[in-house]
Structure 1
Amino acid sequence: MTDHILIDRAGETHALNVIRFNRPDKKNAITRAMYAAMAKALSDGEADDTVRAHVILGTPGAFSSGNDMQDFMAVAMGASKGEEVFDFLIALATVTKPVVSGVDGLAIGIGTTIHMHCDLTFATPASRFHTPFVDLALVPEAGSSLLAPAAMGHQKAFALLAAGLPFSGEEAERAGLIFKTVSVDELEPAVFAAAEHLAAKPPKALAIARRLIKPDPDLVTARIREEGALFAAQLKSAEALAAFQAFMARKK
């Protein structure tokens, strides 16, 4: 579908469904085609009985810088409804198999909120988790307004999602946003070791334990849709237009 997303089976028994961002020249900014490829990869992995866990990875220095700006503006201008984004988010929120992720460097916007759906996230100390939604006159997305307070408490979640304060890897670990910080050299070995550890467990028992621990997926998907409607409304607002004009001026 797109070579900006690489899909592979890994592990001794090929039980790991590996989804890797592969657009380093754009810091793994996510296009609609990339969202569609990831949604399909998750769906295919869920349907494959040999798959026991999903793994999501970026590239050195960037997990993802967030949404591709050209695609994002197409949605903002009404040229696309962005169904691919919702397809991916719903797929991620409703998987039954564990998800392990690894972050080095930038994790901006959706690059941060993806990990709220993951079961174990490893990151390097130099990672930067940042959700500048309100700075762009937008609102939290991907169910983060429900998941972040549950994981981090109100004040840390507010600092991340509303105040837009960046978190380093170590700050994210202390806040409960991720599982563990490791060195750059240890990142992928740690991710794959954790995924293999989960893949070796009795799958039905693990799926039940995971379902009991995580929030009700119906509540999460309902929040994703609620946030999406508010996000779309804000995109059309005067304050969002002003914020985007200022943002583009700074980039130039």
Structure 2
Amino acid sequence: MSDHILIERAGEAGEINIIRFNRPEKKNAITRAMYAAMAKALVDGDADDTVRVHVMLGTPGAFSSGNDMQDFMAVAMGAEKGTEVLDFLGALAGVKKPVVSGVDGLAIGVGATIHLHCDMTFATPESRFHTPFVDLALVPEAASSLLVPLAIGHQRAFALLAAGIPFSGEEAERAGLIFKTVPAAELEPTVLATATGLAQKPPKALALARRLIKPDTEQVMARMREEADLFAKQLKSAEALAAFQAFMARKK
């Protein structure tokens, strides 16, 4: 397990499985080890009859700034991509129990698209949902090219996923991308209270309702694989390498 992902159980019987980013010094940028830890936490939580709800949280000011750019650079320079990202996204898309998430601050790239697979997302008004895929010569991932247009329509989806225009928490709520915005001080208590309420509902009925409401899992996974193939090809492209080098130079 990665020290940058904290796993804890909450509730009277440990019925809430909390997965928390814990790399604030890097704005919770996600490494391969972190993806692996989150995938295991979801799989283990789904297999544990005590667990009724999964919760995903970041740290103040950052849910996640997205994939660690050093990993992107390594792949662009010829390293193997690994399966950790797809393992996590597959576990998240296929999870059987409800997922509630809370966002304060940055939610960039996969840090934004994670919430498409959550059942209820709360965010602070100051949050920033940003998917600069095309700016990095990449393509949308996590089945976002399928799920975002379904949730918010073509034009808003194009603005977010292709034009790379950030959405504030309030804009994301108005668009229908997330459930609700709350003040920063109320974010975590609201998420945990919501998770507690869901954990108290009849589990089979809740699971059936959730399955009926969500898009077809096979369709989601098929789009995720299609995106991943294109993403992998773009990662090794000359334009992606140039974009990554420009990004790293700006950071320095």
Q: TM-score normalised by the shorter chain: which range applies? A: over 0.9
Identity fraction in percent: 81
Quote the residue 2:8 is aligned against.
8
Quote the residue 2:52 is aligned against.
52
Quote the residue 2:121 is aligned against.
121
**RMSD after superposition:** 0.9
Structure 1 CA distance for aligned equivalents of residues 228 and 132 of structure 2: 16
Alignment of 1:60-75 (within 5 A): 60-75=60-75
Letter of the structure 2 residue corresponding to residue 14 of structure 1: G
Alignment of 1:236-247 (within 5 A): 236-247=236-247
Quote the residue 2:99 is aligned against.
99
Contact 2:76 2:241 in 1 (8 A): no
Instruction: Report the secondary structure of 1:125's partner residue.
Output: coil
CA offset at residue 70 of structure 1?
A: 1.5
Establish whether residue 193 from structure 1 lines up as the match of residue 208 from structure 2. no
Letter of the structure 2 residue corresponding to residue 3 of structure 1: D
Unaligned runs of 5+ in 2: none
Quote the residue 1:80 is aligned against.
80
CA offset at residue 5 of structure 1?
A: 0.3
Q: Deviations over 1:109-154 (max 9, x none)?
A: 0000000000000000010000000001110001100110111111
Q: Deviations over 1:175-220 (max 9, x none)?
A: 1110000001100011001111111111111111111110111111
Structure 2 CA distance for aligned equivalents of residues 114 and 77 of structure 1: 27
Quote the residue 1:178 is aligned against.
178
Instruction: Report the secondary structure of 1:112's partner residue.
Output: helix
Q: Which runs of 4+ in 1 moved over 4 A?
A: none
TM-score (normalised: structure 2): 0.98
CA offset at residue 243 of structure 1?
A: 1.7
CA offset at residue 74 of structure 1?
A: 2.3
Instruction: Report the secondary structure of 2:91's partner residue.
Output: helix
CA offset at residue 13 of structure 1?
A: 2.3
Structure 2 CA distance for aligned equivalents of residues 70 and 246 of structure 1: 13
Letter of the structure 2 residue corresponding to residue 55 of structure 1: V
CA offset at residue 81 of structure 1?
A: 2.3
Instruction: Report the secondary structure of 1:12's partner residue.
Output: coil
TM-score (normalised: structure 1): 0.98
Unaligned runs of 5+ in 1: none
Contact 1:116 1:147 in 2 (8 A): yes
Instruction: Report the secondary structure of 2:75's partner residue.
Output: helix
Quote the residue 1:153 is aligned against.
153
Structure 1 CA distance for aligned equivalents of residues 236 and 36 of structure 2: 24
Letter of the structure 1 residue corresponding to residue 129 of structure 2: F
Quote the residue 1:110 is aligned against.
110
Quote the residue 1:26 is aligned against.
26
Q: Deviations over 1:88-112 (max 9, x none)?
A: 0000000010000000000000000
Structure 2 CA distance for aligned equivalents of residues 179 and 75 of structure 1: 35
